[in-house]
Amino acid sequence: MLNKFFTVILSHILVLYSAVVSAASLQVSPISLRFQQTETAKEIWLTNTSEQAIRAQTRVLEWTQDDNKDVLNPTRQVVASPAVTEIPAGGRQLIRVIKTSQLDPRQEQSYRLIIDELPSAKKTEDQAGLQLLLQYSVPVFFESKQDISAKNNITPLTQIQFSYNNHKLTAENNANSHIRLSQLSYINPNGEKIPLVNGLLGYALAHKTMTWDIPAQKNMLPNGKFEARINTDAQTQILIIK
Share of the chain above pLDDT 90, in %: 73
- Residue 167 and residue 51 in one domain: no
- Cβ(150)–Cβ(43) below 8 Å: no
- Residue 41 and residue 118 in one domain: yes
Q: Residue 175: pLDDT above 70?
A: yes
Q: Residue 93: pLDDT above 70?
A: yes
Distance of CA 20 to the CA centre of its chain: 13
- Decide if 154 is inside a domain: no
Most confident of 110-124, 208-222, 226-240: 226-240
- Residue 26 and residue 119 in one domain: yes
Number of folded domains in the chain?
2
Reduced to 3 DSSP states, what percent helix, strand and coil does the chain have, rounded to the nearest 5?
A: 0, 55, 45
- Decide if 150 is inside a domain: no
Q: Which among 80, 111, 142 is the end of a domain?
A: 142
- Residue 136 and residue 164 in one domain: no
- Decide if 2 is inside a domain: no
> What pLDDT is stored for residue 217 in this prediction?
86
Q: Which among 111, 142, 173 is the end of a domain?
A: 142
User: Cα separation of 55 and 36, whole Å?
Assistant: 31
- Residue 34 and residue 136 in one domain: yes
Q: Residue 1: pLDDT above 60?
A: no
> What pLDDT is stored for residue 219 in this prediction?
87
- Decide if 149 is inside a domain: no
- Cβ(161)–Cβ(174) below 8 Å: yes
Residue range of the domain that includes 167: 160-239
> What pLDDT is stored for residue 242 in this prediction?
84
Mean pLDDT of the chain: 88
Q: How confident is the model at residue 196 (pLDDT cuts 50, 70, 90)?
A: very high
Q: How confident is the model at residue 16 (pLDDT cuts 50, 70, 90)?
A: very low
**pTM of this structure:** 0.85
- Residue 124 and residue 29 in one domain: yes
User: Cα separation of 65 and 46, whole Å?
Assistant: 28
> What pLDDT is stored for residue 130 in this prediction?
67
> What pLDDT is stored for residue 128 in this prediction?
52
> What pLDDT is stored for residue 163 in this prediction?
97
**Could you tell me which of 170, 219, 229, 211 has the C-alpha nearest to residue 194?**
219
- Residue 135 and residue 193 in one domain: no
